[in-house]
Amino acid sequence: MKLLATAAAVLSFASTVLCAEKGNLTKPLTSRLILPSNFKPPQNFKNVNLVHIINLEKSYPKEQINVLIENTAKDAQDEYFIPFTSQQMATIGGLEVKDRKDPDAGLFDAEAVEFDSESDTQFYRIRLPKPLAPKTQQTLGISYSYLSALEPLPKHVGQQESQYLVYTFSAYCPSTYVTLKQKTEVKFPSTNVPEYTIVPGSKGESESPQKQGAKFTYGSFGELPAGAVEPVKVRYEFTKPVIHVSRLERDIEVSHWGGNIAFEDRFTLHNHAANLSKNFDRVQWASQQYYSPPSTAIKELKFPLRVGSQDPYFTDVIGNVSTSRFRSNKREANLEIKPRYPIFGGWNYPFRVGWNADLKKFLRKLKTGQGYVLNVPFLEGPKQPEGVSYEHIELRVILPEGAENVQYSTTVPLVGAEVTLHRTFMDTTGRTALTLTAINIVDDFRDRELIVTYDYPFLAGFRKPLVIFTAFVGVFCAAWAIGGLDVGIHGKKK
């Protein structure tokens, strides 16, 4: 497995990695690749044809660049660079690159390049799996999202009013290479787009955008030099919540002895929709709910869990005042949470959910040796039609005491990984914990797998019962010994 990183290698990496502070704009994904500050990507490619798709249907912009590239250099090349502004770099997440013509080739290696933190242009470097020979072509599919990139305008709306969001981008896809032909498609959630930039046509090209229902197309544009930019601003209706999780702490606790796996997710959730222009009016809200009109408030959160999940619990920080519903049968296990108040723009909602499951469904013992393979979802947050973005995720997998040789694999881009000892009641050496950190992740990554392998020596399984047994014997002996003494506290005799 290519992605299987050893804990040791990762440990040394983790120390150099930045973790985003809660609430702050996250720093760019760091990379070990540091380039001189006068770095300019070598002009080894041209973009023969490029389609940039900007999807605004969810509460975060999701972009895709499909580009046919050609090696224009004299020898084979395997490094392709994409530029981002430093603001984009701080909020970009989940960048993935595939070969459009060969999806089985898997994900290409892509990493943020750090070369001059003062420069407004930063780069991602894509490494082609095979160097591209001169004059040959390849089709890249590059996808990513931006967090906190949509601004409500106006910033305050009434509780029954529509909300509009503003997004800015370039009609020319930012590129470090010459682009011969390109267009930018924007997919809106509806046809209600009251404001958008018009780009005049030139050299016989027609004016942009061309409108087709909820899809606007800028271009196509002819040959453009590297770095060409054409700012565009769009303002469109989005009367839905903008759900942002500034921090998710997820614990997955494996217990061989109990045959149980316990999940707990602790969310610091915010609604980044427009703030209310007046105080919340509960009577007006209640009278409208029968029609269930579109709203910027979060009314409920739905968690489709794995079939077989059981004993769910849910608490918000204010106490158990929200209602929750759990539906579980052979086909589904759905947890639904309804906060007592709808959560409007500018409001926070910290809460935790947890549940148990049968360990057998997630853990497999290798046929030979003492190895185990654990396969769990990396993220199981709420599944909402409007989407959820996560600024900082800390996932902790707590393995049994004595587990060793921990390795992991996931396609979720990580910024940190660490193996530590986690001590709880009745532990002798402490339980092995794997902590993974990711930033700027969107709910498209929900249900991505995390595979953890570890060795768990046969005798380690007896450590806990043995400790408990010894402790009991100890208490017993002590009680027996003390029993003979008169240590009772006697009341004062009158």
If one asks whether residue 24 binds ligand NAG (CB under 6 A), the answer comes out as: yes
User: Where is 264: in which H helix or E strand?
Assistant: strand 260-271
What is the smallest separation between the CB atom of 156 and ligand NAG, expressed in angstroms? Answer: 6
CB atoms within 10 A of CB 201: 12
Beta bridge partners of 143: 64, 96
If one asks whether residue 313 binds ligand NAG (CB under 6 A), the answer comes out as: yes
Amino acid symbol at 41:
P
What is the smallest separation between the CB atom of 192 and ligand NAG, expressed in angstroms? Answer: 22
Closer by beta carbon to ligand NAG, 141 or else 346: 346
Closer by beta carbon to ligand NAG, 21 or else 109: 21
Question: CB under 8 Å to 249, separation ≥6 — which residues?
Answer: 265, 266, 394, 396
Measure CA of the first residue to CA of the last residue in the chain; give whole Å: 80
Closer by beta carbon to ligand NAG, 5 or else 18: 18
Closer by beta carbon to ligand NAG, 244 or else 431: 244
3-state helix, strand, coil in the chain (%, to 5): 10, 45, 40
If one asks whether residue 263 binds ligand NAG (CB under 6 A), the answer comes out as: no
What is the smallest separation between the CB atom of 275 and ligand NAG, expressed in angstroms? Answer: 4
What is the smallest separation between the CB atom of 244 and ligand NAG, expressed in angstroms? Answer: 13
Closer by beta carbon to ligand NAG, 162 or else 275: 275
306-388-192 Cα angle (round to 5): 130
If one asks whether residue 302 binds ligand NAG (CB under 6 A), the answer comes out as: no
Closer by beta carbon to ligand NAG, 24 or else 424: 24
For the segment 39-68, give every residue that binds ligand NAG (CB under 6 A). Answer: none
Q: Where are the alpha helices (DSSP H) in 168-288?
A: 282-288
User: Where is 238: in which H helix or E strand?
Assistant: none
Closer by beta carbon to ligand NAG, 24 or else 284: 24
For the segment 127-156, give every residue that binds ligand NAG (CB under 6 A). Answer: 155
What is the smallest separation between the CB atom of 445 and ligand NAG, expressed in angstroms? Answer: 23
Cα separation of 96 and 142, whole Å?
A: 6
Q: Are 303 and 344 in contact (CB under 8 A)?
A: no
- In terms of Cβ atoms closer than 10 Å to its own Cβ (0-12, 13-18, 19+), residue 312 is buried
Q: Are 406 and 432 in contact (CB under 8 A)?
A: yes
If one asks whether residue 328 binds ligand NAG (CB under 6 A), the answer comes out as: no
If one asks whether residue 311 binds ligand NAG (CB under 6 A), the answer comes out as: no
Amino acid symbol at 494:
K
Residue 197, helix vs strand vs coil: coil
What is the smallest separation between the CB atom of 439 and ligand NAG, expressed in angstroms? Answer: 12
Position with the least CB separation from ligand NAG: 346
Cα separation of 456 and 370, whole Å?
A: 6
- Judged by CB under 6 A, which of 275, 328, 384, 411 binds ligand NAG? 275
Amino acid symbol at 310:
Q
What is the smallest separation between the CB atom of 153 and ligand NAG, expressed in angstroms? Answer: 10
Cα separation of 273 and 200, whole Å?
A: 33
Cα separation of 8 and 396, whole Å?
A: 17
**Binding pattern for the stretch 448-467 against ligand NAG, x by CB under 6 A and - elsewhere:** --------------------
| The one segment of 37-45, 243-251, 312-320, 376-384 that binds ligand NAG by CB under 6 A | 312-320
Closer by beta carbon to ligand NAG, 324 or else 407: 324
Residue 291, helix vs strand vs coil: helix
* Total residues in contact with ligand NAG, by rule CB under 6 A: 9
What is the smallest separation between the CB atom of 69 and ligand NAG, expressed in angstroms? Answer: 35
If one asks whether residue 320 binds ligand NAG (CB under 6 A), the answer comes out as: yes
- In terms of Cβ atoms closer than 10 Å to its own Cβ (0-12, 13-18, 19+), residue 341 is middle
Cα separation of 315 and 350, whole Å?
A: 9
- Judged by CB under 6 A, which of 3, 8, 11, 21 binds ligand NAG? 21
What is the smallest separation between the CB atom of 347 and ligand NAG, expressed in angstroms? Answer: 7
Closer by beta carbon to ligand NAG, 179 or else 324: 324
Cα separation of 374 and 359, whole Å?
A: 9
For the segment 99-128, give every residue that binds ligand NAG (CB under 6 A). Answer: none
For the segment 334-393, give every residue that binds ligand NAG (CB under 6 A). Answer: 346
Task: Using CB under 6 A, list all residues that contact ligand NAG.
Answer: 21, 24, 155, 275, 313-314, 320, 324, 346
